[in-house]
Amino acid sequence: MPLSDTAARNAKPKDRPFKLADEKGLYLLIKTAGKYWRFDYRYEGKRRTLALGVYPEVSLKAARETRDVARKQLAAGIDPGGSRKAAKAARRGEDPSSFEVIAREWIEKRRKAWTPGHTAKVIRFFEQDAFPWIGKRAVTDILAPELLTMLRRIESRGANEIAHRVKQNCGRVFHYAIATGRAERNPIADLLGALEPLTVKHHAAITEPRAVGALLRAIEGYQGSFVAQCALRLAPLVFVRPGELRSAEWAEFDLDGGEWRIPAERMKMRSQHIVPLSTQALTILRELHALTGTGRYVFPGVRTNMRPMSENTVNAALRRLGYTKDEMTGHGFRSLASTLLNEQGWHRDAIERQLAHAERDAVRAAYNYAEHLPQRRKMMQSWADYIDALCCGGNVVAIRA
């Protein structure tokens, strides 16, 4: 039962400290010296506690709001306690020239332009592969050989792509340090060509029509959870990014209007994305709505409906169906659709817009998305009809747009 303000106000200290529980990890710790808000959470498998202030200076409402912010950080993979410590260090001016303080300051400046998932990934890379080696060092003292040693540690475990990403983000931190007057040059510039070349890996995808039909039939026969099966069935019909699919919220859908509007903050390119829904997609969503429609997420997690399903759910389901990571991935549904729609002759702009790709030149960027929307609606229904026929095992020749 949630804590009331009256109960918090009337609580009296006892011989030993005790707790008055609210909900979602929040509680009021009663001691002889006062009443203290605390939030218990788990991060990387360890139990941690965050202090949220003293009652009544911090009200019950304010404590809940702070707890909710911390829960959002956890959902994005960020440790709220670690984030607070770094912010306090920066505010106190504690070694303001250290790489870690400047890096965390730069991350906070960029947070609004990034998705929560990307923010969490950048922080994780820094915390695992940069801060332990150069975090406490003043940016002016860090030289190229020291950075190269750090990056080659990452390479040595076979994480070549991560090494390049850490190098890139370190370079951005040094640029930020220069812009804020705490450094004069960027030592990352001296590492040009020092790392092993990055081999671009494309997401595995099935694109041969008969094989696509076999995949769709396997999905129809999936024996796992109904929620996971619905995600598998919907993925080829909407071909959004896996993170956009698994985090879908019912509030984003207009089932009567046949439209899914994904808000800008959940999109990689930070602009709202419209997904026209075919009759087949609407059928799946209405079936699922009967099960999960009372909650926030279309595809809630197994353990709690307060969070979306795991990022590994779709890929794990594909493995269960017998498809290896070199044959098909959750991201591969985008490549599948892109390849076949281009082969069918649909307008490239309509395909690219539906994939929510960034525009690569000024002419395409100036194209009003609304001008593509009628064609995209037609394309999405035609596509759904086409893969329906593939699923039935027919020798399908799509009508060229």
Q: Which residues are catalytic?
A: 241, 268, 331, 334, 357, 367
Phi, psi dihedrals of residue 321, rounded to the nearest 5°: -80, -5
The tokens of 343 are what? 């082969």
**DSSP bridge partners of 98:** 138
CB 40 within 8 A of CB 25: yes
Name the residue among 35, 243, 12, 226 with its Cα closest to residue 119: 243
CA angle 100, 193, 127 (to 5 degrees): 20
Query: Of 342, 377, 371, which Cα lies nearest the Cα of 238?
Result: 377
Q: Cα–Cα distances in Å, from 147 out to 128, 160, 166, 193, 194?
A: 14, 15, 10, 13, 11
Determine the number of helices (DSSP H) and then strands (DSSP E) in the chain. Answer: 17, 7
* 8 Å CB contact between 79 and 72: no
- Comparing CA positions, the residue from 93, 73, 91, 72 lying closest to residue 82 is 73
CA–CA distance, 308 with 314 (Å, rounded to integer): 12
Instruction: Name the residue type at position 258.
Output: G
Assess contact for 351 and 341: CB atoms under 8 A: yes
What is the residue-wise DSSP string for 176-226? Answer: HHHHTTS-S--GGGGGTT-SPPPPP-PPP---SHHHHHHHHHHHHT--S-H
Count of other CB atoms within 10 angstroms of residue 394: 11
Check residue 358 and report its DSSP letter: P
Residue 373: name the closest of 298, 261, 235 by CA: 261
Query: How far apart are the two ends of the chain, measured CA to CA in Å?
Result: 59
The strand pairing partners of 29, in sequence order, are 19, 36
Rg (CA), the chain: 25
- The first and second tokens of residue 176, run together, are 């930020």
The DSSP letter of residue 199 is: P
Q: Could you tell me the two tokens for 284?
A: 């799946």
